[in-house]
Amino acid sequence: MPEKGNRRVLAFDYGTRRIGVASGQEILGTGQPVAMIPARDGIPDWSQLEALLQEWRPDLVVVGLPLNMDDSENEMCARARKFGNRLHGRYHVPVEMVDERLTSFEAKGDVMAAGGSRDFGRHGVDDRAAVLILETWFGLQDERAGE
């Protein structure tokens, strides 16, 4: 694995209907939307995920953890953790969880501000949320490096 600061990272915004995916280089600290993977009751098409992992070859995967505003966990947190554990178990890639509170809300605002419609399923909210999750993780790495 490359040294910290120079890793290729994929981020996932886990959802029960769609899973947003973003990619980025730690050294740049920014992400870009990659895909929105359909899911059925939270179960993704694992072959699509495998193809993305083979294409992007990430050094690390980040999965958003949708904590409540009071820092407590909910059912979606358990499902997101399970998704992260399955990614690690199936593809042997290191997985980190990151607080993703309000990323979907912010992503919807970004889409609307850019002239998107309220039909968010087709207009990049989930992959945009994955970008925000990834950039949050990059910011946490910068904070840790500065300590």
Q: Note down the domain range covering 32.
A: 8-146
DSSP 84-112: HHHHHHHH---EEEEE-TTHHHHHHHHHH
Helix axes 46-56, 75-91, angle to 10 degrees: 60
Each residue's pLDDT tens digit in the chain (147 positions)? 666 678 999 999 999 999 999 999 988 888 999 999 999 999 999 999 999 999 999 999 999 999 888 889 999 999 999 999 999 999 999 999 999 875 554 544 554 455 554 444 444 678 888 999 999 999 888 777 765
Asked whether residue 126 is assigned to any structural domain, the reply reads: yes
Asked whether residue 47 is assigned to any structural domain, the reply reads: yes
CA distances, 39 to each of 17, 49, 116, 138 (Å): 5, 11, 23, 26
The predicted pLDDT at position 68 comes to 87
Cβ(136)–Cβ(99) below 8 Å: yes
Asked whether residue 14 is assigned to any structural domain, the reply reads: yes
- By CB atoms closer than 10 A (0-12, 13-18, 19+), residue 28 is exposed
* Pairing mode of beta strands 8-13, 18-25: antiparallel
Number of CB atoms found within 10 A of residue 134's CB:
29
Asked whether residue 2 is assigned to any structural domain, the reply reads: no
Cβ(32)–Cβ(53) below 8 Å: no
Q: What is the domain count for the chain?
A: 1
- Domain with residue 42: its CATH number is 3.30.420.140
Q: Please indicate, yes or no, whether the overall pTM of this predicted structure exceeds 0.75.
A: yes
Asked whether residue 3 is assigned to any structural domain, the reply reads: no
